[in-house]
Amino acid sequence: MKLHAICATLAAAALSLQAARAADKPETELGKQMEAANDALKAMKKETDPAKGAALAREVEAALVKSLGEVPSTLEKTPEPEKAKALANYRTLIAKTYVTVSQIEEAYLANDLEKVKTLSESLRPDKKEGHEKYKPKDEK
C-alpha cells in the first residue's frame, strides 16, 4: 500500500516538474509554426483520402511560409557573417521542404499514394538536418 502511495507521489512530482519547465520556456512563433507543420505531416502519413491529404499538405505549406521570415532562437546571438549564412541555409531547408510538400499535395490530388509515401520519406533527412542545426538543444 505504501509503495503505491510513493509511486503516485513520484509520478505527480515528475509531471509537476515537466509542466513547470514547459511554462518557463516562452513559445516562439517559429516553434508554433513548426509544431503545426509537424502535426499535419504526421496526419498526412496516415491519410489515404486524396482531398484530406491535399488539405493537410496545404496546412504544412502555410506553416512553412510563415516560418520563412522567422529567425531560429539558436541564431539570435550568432555574429555576422555566420548568422547570414546560417539564415540562408535555414531558408533553403524550409524552401526545399515546401517544394517536396507541394509535390506531395500534387500526388494526393493524382491519387498516387505510393508517390506520397516516397516523397514523405524523402523529407526525413532535411528535417533531421534542420533540427540538428536550428532547434534548441533543450527541445530535441
SS (H, E, C) the chain: CHHHHHHHHHHHHHHHHHHHHHHHCCCCHHHHHHHHHHHHHHHHHHCCCHHHHHHHHHHHHHHHHHHHCCCCHHHCCCCCCHHHHHHHHHHHHHHHHHHHHHHHHHHHHCCCHHHHHHHHHHCHHHHHHHHHHHCCHHHC
Q: For position 45, what pLDDT does the model report?
A: 87
Choose from 49-63, 69-83, 124-138 the range with maximum mean pLDDT: 49-63
Q: For position 1, what pLDDT does the model report?
A: 53
> pTM, whole model, 2 decimals?
0.77
Q: For position 20, what pLDDT does the model report?
A: 44
10 pLDDT above the threshold of 50: no
Q: What is the pLDDT of residues 108-122, one digit of tens each?
A: 999 999 999 999 999
Mean pLDDT, the chain, integer: 85
